[in-house]
Amino acid sequence: MTDTVPDQKHTDEVAAWWRQAVVYQIYPRSFADANGDGIGDLPGILSRVDYLAELGIDAVWLSPFYPSALADGGYDVDDYRDVDPRLGTLDDFDAMVEALHARSIRVIVDIVPNHTSNRHEWFQEALAAGRGSEARDRYIFREGTGPDGSQPPTDWVSVFGGPAWERVDDGQWYFHNFAVEQPDLNWDNEEVRADFLKTLRFWSDRGVDGFRIDVAHMLTKDLSDPLPSRAELALLPQDGSHPLIDRDDVHEIYAEWRQVFDSYDPPRTAVAEAWVSTPERRAKYASAEGLGQAFNFDLLVADFDAVEFRRIIADNLAQATLSGSSTTWVLSNHDVTRHATRYGLQPLNGRHVKQGTEWVAAGGPEEQLDREGGLRRARATTLLLLGLPGSTYVYQGEELGLHEVADITPAQRQDPAFFRGAEFDGLGRDGCRVPLPWTADGSSFGFGSGGAHLPQPAWFAQHAVDVLAGDPSSTLSLYRDALRLRHRLQTGESLEWLKTDRVDVLRFARPNGWQVVANFGAESFDLGADAEHVVLASTPVSGAALPGECTVWLAPDD
Ligand code: NOJ
Ligand code: CA
C-alpha cells in the first residue's frame, strides 16, 4: 500500500462547504409526522430524505427538537443534549444524520444559549435553592424595588410583550428577554460557559456539521447598578457597550467556541442570528475567529423593489469581504410572514411588507392577498437570490409556493408573541409553521395519519408535493432546476453589475460568465440576442421579451 499525501486543496474545499451552500430549514414539528400523533418528528424527516436529496440542497438546519414544553415553539429548551420524546430518540437522530450524510446533505442544529426553559433542571434548582445560592447565579435574579420589593427591578419589556422580569415565590425577580418560560442565563457564570462547550461537543461528536446560534448578540449583559430605565435603555448606543445588546464581550464566548469547532475535521461551522445595528458590527460575528458566518436579514424587511435589492446585495457582499466570510440570503424563516404573501399584499404606507394585524386592519388577508402576483414575485426574487454569491437559506414550504396561513383561530394558535400581543407581529408566527402538504388527498395532506397540530387550509392541496413534483412549471420544479444548475453557476464569490438602462431591472455576471437578469417592473425588458442563452426562468419567457416580475439565468456557450 502506498502512503497518500492528503490533498490540501481538497481538504480546504471540504472545510469551506458552507460558503455557497443552500441550507434548507426544517421546522421539525411541522415537516413530517411518522407516528401519527399530529406532531412532526425525526423519523418523519428520515422518511423524507430522498425528497431533500432530490431538491438538491447542501444542508439542513433543524430548528430545536430538544425536550420542551413548547412555550416558544421549542426555543424553550429543557435539556440541550437530548431529543424531545414526542419527536424521537437520540438513536433516531443518529439514523437521520446517517441517512442525510449518505446523500451528501450536511446537518446544522440550533443552539439556544441566551435562555433555558423554566423546566430546565438548572432553573428548577435555582427556584429551590433560594436567594444568594450558586444555583441562582446561573440566571439573572435580583431583588425588586419599592419598600417591599414588590415592584420589578426595572420597567423593561420583553421581546414578546409584557414585563421582562418575573417574581418567584420567595420575592426575588428573574430576567427574561423573551417569554416568561425562558429565563435568561448569566454568561458571567463559568459553569454556564463550560456546559455549552459540552453541548457543542456532544452534537459535533454525533456528526453534526454546524450550528445556528439563536439570538447570538444577547448573551452577555452588564447589569451593574444603577440600571437604566426602559426609556434610557432605548437611547443608549448599540456600539458594544450597551447593557443588553451586542456587547463586545460576547465575542470572548465565540472565540472559545471557535476552538471547539476547529478541533474537528472538517471544522464545525456556525451561523449567528444577530440583529445588530451596523454591517460592521455584524461582521464581528462572522469573523473566522468567531462564529464564522452571520445571518443577513435585510431582505426580510425589504420591499419588492430593484433599487432596494441592489443596495442590499451590494452592501452585504461588501460586508462579507470585510469579515472574510460569505454572506447569507434569506427571504423566509419560521419567524416571519412567508415571502409569497409579503409580496402579494397591496402596498400599505407605500410598502408591501406587512405584519399580521395590518392585514386584518386592511380588510382581511383573503380579500387583500394577490396570491398569483405574490408567488410570481417570490419566484423571481428566489431565482435572483440563488444566482448570487454566498449561501442561501430556504425555509420549508417555500419550495411549494406556500402562502402564509391566516385562517387560524385564537384557540388554535400557539405562538407566545400572539398571546402577549408583541408589537412586531400581531398575528404571531403560527401562519408559517403549519405542517407541510405532501399529498393532495389523505389525512393531513400526507403530513401524517393523525391530523396536524396547526390547521391546514383546503388550498394546501394545490401545493402538495405529489401535485407539484410532476409539473415542470411548478415552484417545486423551479427550485429543483435552480439548485441543479447552481452548481455550475457558483464558481466564484463575486459578481459584476451590468448596465440595463432601467432602474427596475437588475443584471449581473458571475466570474464564469453566467448572468442573472431580474425584472422587478411591470414592463417587459428586451433581452435581444441573449434570449438564446436563457437556461432558467421564474415564469415562462417567449422570444426576447423578459416579462415583468420575472428573473432569468443566462448560461454562456460551453
Ligand atoms: C429567535 C428564534 O428564531 C425565535 O423563533 C425565538 O422565538 C427567539 N429567538 C427566542 O429564542
Ligand atoms: Ca409524531
| Residue to probe by mutation, ligand 1, list 25, 26, 75, most atoms within 8 Å of CB | 75
Task: Supply the residue whose CA is at minimum distance from atom 4 of ligand 1.
Answer: 335
Measured in Å, residue 32 CA sits from the centre of ligand 2 at 8
**How confident is residue 331, by pLDDT bands cut at 50, 70 and 90?**
very high
DSSP track, 242-276: -SSSS-TTHHHHHHHHHHHHHTSSSPPEEEE----
**Atom number of ligand 1 nearest to Cα 178:** 10
Measured in Å, residue 329 CA sits from the centre of ligand 1 at 18
Residues 58 and 428: beta-carbon distance below 8 Å: no
Distance CA 431, CA 355 (A): 11
Among 116-125, 183-192, 319-328, name the one with the lowest average pLDDT. Answer: 319-328
Model confidence over 251-260: pLDDT tens digits? 999 999 999 9
Q: What is the largest CA-CA distance in the chain?
A: 81
Contacts of 95 (CB under 8 A, 6+ apart): 42, 43, 46
What integer pLDDT is reported at residue 244 of this predicted model? 97
3 classed as catalytic = no
| Residue to probe by mutation, ligand 1, list 120, 335, 420, 432, most atoms within 8 Å of CB | 335
pTM flag (> 0.85): yes
Strand partners, 184: 115
Model confidence over 344-391: pLDDT tens digits? 876 554 444 444 444 443 444 556 788 999 999 999 999 999 999 999
Model confidence over 101-159: pLDDT tens digits? 999 999 999 999 999 999 999 999 999 999 999 999 999 999 999 999 999 999 999 99
Pocket of ligand 1 (CB under 6 A): 72-73, 75, 112, 178, 214-215, 273, 334-335
What integer pLDDT is reported at residue 7 of this predicted model? 66
205 classed as catalytic = no
Among all ligands shown, which has an atom nearest to the Cα of 274?
Answer: 1
For the chain, what is the radius of gyration of the CA atoms? 24
Residues 383 and 553: beta-carbon distance below 8 Å: yes
What ranges in 387-455 are assigned the alpha helix state H? 416-419
Domains of the chain: 17-113+191-481 (3.20.20.80), 121-175 (3.90.400.10), 494-554 (2.60.40.1180)
Q: Residue 6 pLDDT more than 90?
A: no
> Hey, is 205 helix, strand or coil?
helix
- Mean predicted confidence (pLDDT) in 195-215: 98
How is residue 289 annotated by DSSP?
T
Task: Supply the residue whose CA is at minimum distance from atom 6 of ligand 1.
Answer: 75
Query: Cell numbers at residue 273, please?
Result: 442570528
What integer pLDDT is reported at residue 363 of this predicted model? 40
Pairing of strands 173-175, 210-213: unpaired
Query: Cell numbers at residue 325, please?
Result: 466570510
